[in-house]
Structure 1
Amino acid sequence: MTEADFTFLRLLLQQRSGLSLTADKQYLAESRLGILCRRRGIADITTLIARLRSAREPALENAVVDAMTTNETLFFRDRTPFDLFRDVILPERLAANAATRSLRIWCAAVSSGQEAYSLAMLIDEAAARLEGWKIDIVGTDISSEILEKARSGSYSQFEIQRGLPIQMLLKHFEQRGDKWQVSERLRRMVEFRRHNLLERNDHLGRFDVIFCRNVLIYFDVPTKVKALELLAPRLAPDGALLLGAAETVLGLATSFACDPEHRGLYRLPGPALRARPAASPPDGLARKERLAGWSA
């Protein structure tokens, strides 16, 4: 790949997805786009870039974005955000939304779906407290290909072994050949949609909880600012935003503030941050038993 072609590719990715591909990642582009060329019967990367330069081919552009997007994820990734959701955020929402009996959760940049299904499992564990509630879990991603995998709910043994407690595997999955299939009940709980985080999102509605984890790290600063500005109107005034362990809003956005009690949790600033509804202690298993479930 020539320097000029790589510069063109970097600009294309920036414009289409916000992905900031640094100058030292040319080897990565050549590896991933080489695979794309073989799959699509394109002679080589030079020919691919020439086609992208010559005319708008949205399908081909989407395929290039898909190829260059990192879709690394696993069940209950990093654990802490899921502990926060189960022990802090969910009890808060039960108190705050008691009148409407509805709960909306957005998993942005959901990749192959493990995060959304992890939350669905936690919601299922709290089914007794949520009887009669309307629960919406929406997972979005820019990659159409990875969303198809998410909708299928089918995972390899390797993917299953990454973070999924054995009790949840036995309860929520069925083995089909060399794959594990998420139960139909859980699949019905999640809706997957294609969405670019840098585009208008008002059609998605407002959410009580937004998970937007491990995606901002791939953006440059102006793109991070834009993404956070687009997320803010989608969050309920007393809702909760969770970012990845290596991500923060500090120095990027005044539309969010750090929760003073919980690291990695962000709120809209103002009175809602200071006067959140009192949460009842979580029902169910004792804490030591819940923790044992994580480590199994």
Structure 2
Amino acid sequence: MTPADLEFLGKFLKERSGLVLVGDKTYLIESRLMPIARKHNMASLAVLMQQLRAGSPNLEGEVVEAMTTNETFFFRDKLPFDLFTETMLPAMIQQRSSQRRLRIWCAACSTGQEPYSLAMLLEEQGAKLAGWNIEILATDLSGEVLTKAKAGRFSQFEVQRGLPIQLLVKNFEQVGDLWELSQKIRSKVTFRPINLLRDFGPLGTFDIIFCRNVLIYFDEQTKVDILNRLSASLAPDGFLVLGAAETVVGLCDRFKSVPDKRGMYIRNMAADAARQPMRIAVGATR
């Protein structure tokens, strides 16, 4: 690819997905985009870039999906799921005891292992959550990974990555070479296509937001923008969970970390209050 093509692709990906190409990514680009070029009978990536510049919506979607990293697995990093079971969920059960309603958002959910892991943990709570209205919304930019996530079918390799054997036996059925997640668990999760660069305010307010291992691919300003908007989507007493390599420090003062709970954040209500305009009482006198 020419320097001009690389520059164009970098701008295109940042605008459409927030992805920032850093360093020499020539091999990565070629390995991910050449299959698209061959699929459309294009002789080279140069031809693909020409067509991309021409503005083909279908081609644009394929390129973004091919370049987006979709690495995930069940109970990835373990700690966030321990915090969910031992800290976040007990707090929410206490704080939402009157409403008996809980909303959870898994942003950038990829092929669904994260929201399904949470769904299995919720199922393990049994009678504690009987009668509760619990919603798990899982979103991703890629329609392709969402299609796979909705199907709830995983390879032997995928179920061996992080999934405890007891949960595999309890919640999956082997169908040929694949493992199919039970309808009971799948029905707990709703999947929707959402681009974090766009307005996600209409999704409403959530009690717990998992937004893990996606901010690392964005530049600083994009991280700041997304974190600020996430704060508006999180309940005042809710929890935000980021990836192990991600932080709000130096980016957003609307969240603060929870001591000894790595990767878990709560709203910084003092920062929110400081942003409120000063109100002068009507009829006040000196």
Matched residue, 1:186 = 185
Deviations 1:52-110 (A, max 9, x none): 112x2222111111000000000000000000000100000001111110011000000
Deviations 1:122-169 (A, max 9, x none): 000012100000010010000000110000111000001000000000
Q: 1:208-247, aligned counterparts within 5 Å?
A: 208-247=207-246
Deviations 1:228-264 (A, max 9, x none): 1121111000000000011100001111111124121
Partner Cα separation in structure 2 for residue 255 and residue 12 of structure 1: 30
Give TM-score scaled by structure 1 length: 0.89
Matched residue, 2:5 = 5
Number of residue pairs matched by the alignment: 272
Partner Cα separation in structure 2 for residue 192 and residue 92 of structure 1: 26
* SS of match in other structure, 1:180: strand
Matched residue, 2:75 = 76
The runs of 5 or more residues in structure 1 that have no matched partner are 274-296
Residue 203 (structure 1) shift = 1.6
Question: Are 2:119 and 2:185, in contact at CA under 8 Å, matched by a contact in 1?
Answer: yes
Matched residue, 1:43 = 43
Q: Please say which structure displays the higher CA radius of gyration.
A: 2
Partner Cα separation in structure 1 for residue 108 and residue 212 of structure 2: 8
Matched residue, 1:262 = 261
Question: Are 1:154 and 1:181, in contact at CA under 8 Å, matched by a contact in 2?
Answer: yes
Deviations 1:209-240 (A, max 9, x none): 00000001111111111111121111000000
Moved over 4 A (4+): none
* SS of match in other structure, 2:25: helix
Partner Cα separation in structure 2 for residue 43 and residue 132 of structure 1: 59
Q: Which of the pair has the greater relative contact order for Cα pairs under 8 Å at 6+ separation? A: 1
Partner Cα separation in structure 1 for residue 39 and residue 176 of structure 2: 26
CA shift in 2, pair 1:136/1:158, >3 Å:
same
Partner Cα separation in structure 2 for residue 40 and residue 98 of structure 1: 55
Question: Are 2:244 and 2:262, in contact at CA under 8 Å, matched by a contact in 1?
Answer: no
Name the amino acid aligned to 1:27: Y
Residue 37 (structure 1) shift = 1.8
Name the amino acid aligned to 1:250: V
Question: Are 1:156 and 1:180, in contact at CA under 8 Å, matched by a contact in 2?
Answer: yes
CA shift in 2, pair 1:4/1:272, >3 Å:
closer
Matched residue, 2:101 = 102
Question: Are 1:197 and 1:227, in contact at CA under 8 Å, matched by a contact in 2?
Answer: yes
Name the amino acid aligned to 2:29: A
Partner Cα separation in structure 1 for residue 87 and residue 271 of structure 2: 16
